Copies of this chain bind each other. A is one copy, B any other.
Amino acid sequence: MYPSSVRQLIDSFKNLPGIGEKSAERLAFSMVNFDKETLTNFSNAIVNVRDLVSTCKICGNISEGDICSICSNEDRNNGMIFVVEKPKDIFLFEKLGVYKGRYHVLGGLLSPLEGIGPDDINLKSLLERVRDGKVKEVILALKPSVEGETTMQYIRKVLSEMDVTVSKIATGVPIGTDMEYIDSLTLELAIDERKDIS
């Protein structure tokens, strides 16, 4: 019923997370009104992502080239590895501008329920990097969920045999949030991990 090019665009949008038929229709129809240059830029951006973006051979970050800009930056501290679930997490932490070490992307979390084991995530290469000997501290920054905690416990265990400090980022009450909007598990953790300020 729709012109076939519009139908094709709707179907493409439906591949995106959280975009169903109705949202895809709305987005595709809005693009019909874009000027030709904007459409060309959009199309080129997709082609460039397709042709240029790959996975960093060291840390698993997204990269234009074999090694990402963080791994190839010689000014960064080789003594620390910050372990995250997804490439996007790296950019969240980089925006803060406080961490100057290296990263490692697992690309997933351990989940016995879903059958995701240690060999299914990017863990072996983390152990190899730590075994190299330059790394003094591994900072685990996985989300505080069952899978995240399981993965952090597993990494803590396998790294316990090596000469490296393992830490994890703090869980607790986020700043600026009203208590009533925070889930009970977070509140419990915040009490358990309370800090003496006397």
Contacts and interface: CB of A to CB of B under 8 A. Distances in A.
Interface in A18-45: 25-32, 34, 36, 38-45
Nearest to A5: B48
Contact of A6 (B41, B47, B49, B95): B49
Contacts of A94: 1
B5 A53 contact: yes
B53 A6 contact: yes
10 contacts: A4-B48, A6-B49, A6-B62, A9-B46, A26-B88, A31-B49, A39-B46, A39-B47, A39-B49, A43-B44
Interface of A: 1-6, 8-9, 11-12, 15-17, 25-32, 34, 36, 38-50, 52-53, 62-64, 69, 86-88, 91, 94-95
